[in-house]
Homo-oligomer: A and B are copies of this chain.
Amino acid sequence: MEISNTLKLYKEKIELRLRSFLDEKIAEAEKISNSSKEIMEFIKGFNLRGGKRIRPILIIMAYKSLGGKNDDAIIDIAVSAELMQSFLLIHDDIIDDDDLRRGGPTIHRIYAEKYKDYNDPKKFGESMAIIAGDLLASLGNEIISESDFNEKKKLKLLQKFNKVVKLTGYGEIIDILSGLRTDMTEENISKMHRLKTAVYTIEGPLHMGAIAAGASDEQLKILSEYAIPLGQAFQIKDDILGMFGSEVKLGKPADSDIKEGKKTLLIIKAIENADKEQMEFIKNALGNKNITEKELIKLREIIKKTGSLDYSQHLAEKRVKKAKNTIKNFGLNEGGKEFFLGLPDYIIKRDY
């Protein structure tokens, strides 16, 4: 099957279960209080607004490629990854002061808007969004613990779920500090990509699917060797889209990385190879919350002229190649092999 068809098929299944699970939670919350119901409705809206569903799909594909047969149970595990994703995005959006996510307002903005007549609606919105994230972390654990796998597997899955949350947190800290530090190196960035993206977006989901299928430690190790370079390539691509992509397709502004002063590989490499005037321009642009469209265009030019865009693109391709080589001799069934060999190119070529 074409990879985009596989993605589409599972995306629908995942969204169906995500919807039914969150509807159950809304019904449960309604018995508690109006405010509980309200927050669960906002959470549902946020979860169903879209997203590529790449993590849950990886869970399902890893599971089926390694011989897993319980189609209903694995959907619950897949949904847990989507709940984790929303949990982390909601907290991330507070941290980054972002107003827009998946083409709609962020949770803290939804609350700030709805309660705008109250004293300090911004603060109020952030408070509610902190709790919304915490609730989603709890729901992610809940859906795993109630899934139709045996106790031993569920326990292993919960361990993995919480380990991914922990490592992603560590990656997020490096990411926030990168906005403050002046000494970020390619190595720091690589570490951050490993924690914040590779573990969280690729390795964690593949391991969860594999654990559910009863994979051995050796199999998990090989999956890591595929997942880590692929995840790092995924993040490089994300950074490129964050600088050169279209706001409509991304569902968020294409200048937020710059405004937050994030030192992506694109920025680091451009600085390394910049002349004095270019260097000055980059430093003034980074973290400038009032950067103009014209200045952004010039910054993009500098990133191209210094060879930094090429460097990032080549590095991403190199890692994709490494990932593909790992998977070639791995004991997956035919459909699985096709999917995992196709995925890296799909990731590198996406435009959102």
Contacts and interface: CB of A to CB of B under 8 A. Distances in A.
A133 interface: yes
B180 A166 contact: no
Contacts of A135: 165-166, 169-170
Contacts of A39: 170, 173
A193 to B, nearest CB: 13
A130 B173 CA distance: 10
Interface stretch (A51-59, A150-158, A249-257): A150-158
A176 B128 contact: yes
Interface in A127-148: 127-128, 130-131, 133-135, 137-139, 141-142, 145-146
Interface stretch (A28-36, A237-245, A264-272, A299-307): A28-36
Given A32-B170, A134-B137, A176 B95 contact: no
Contact of A142 (B32, B88, B166): B166
Contacts of A163: 138, 142
A180 B124 contact: yes
A33 B115 contact: no
A115 B163 CA distance: 28
Nearest to A117: B180
Contacts of A170: 29, 32-33, 35-36, 39, 135
Contacts of A159: 142, 145-146
Interface residues of A, number: 53
Interface string A202-244: 0000000000000000000000000000000000000000000
A134 B180 contact: no
A94 B134 contact: no
Given A169-B135, A170-B32, A94 B176 contact: no
Contacts of A128: 173, 176
A177 interface: yes
A177 B35 contact: yes
A46 to B, nearest CB: 16
Given A32-B170, A33-B170, A162 B133 contact: no
Interface string A167-203: 1011011101100100000000001000100000000
A177 B97 CA distance: 22
A5 interface: no
A127 B134 CA distance: 14
A119 interface: yes
4 pairs of A and B residues whose beta carbons are closest in the complex: A95-B127, A36-B170, A151-B151, A141-B162
Interface of A: 29, 32-33, 35-36, 39, 88, 91, 94-95, 97, 115, 118-119, 123-124, 127-128, 130-131, 133-135, 137-139, 141-142, 145-146, 151-152, 154-155, 158-159, 161-163, 165-167, 169-170, 172-174, 176-177, 180, 191, 195, 287
Given A128-B176, A130-B130, 13 more contacts: A32-B195, A33-B170, A33-B173, A35-B174, A94-B130, A118-B180, A119-B287, A128-B173, A134-B137, A134-B165, A135-B165, A138-B166, A151-B151
5 contacts: A94-B127, A95-B130, A95-B131, A138-B162, A138-B163
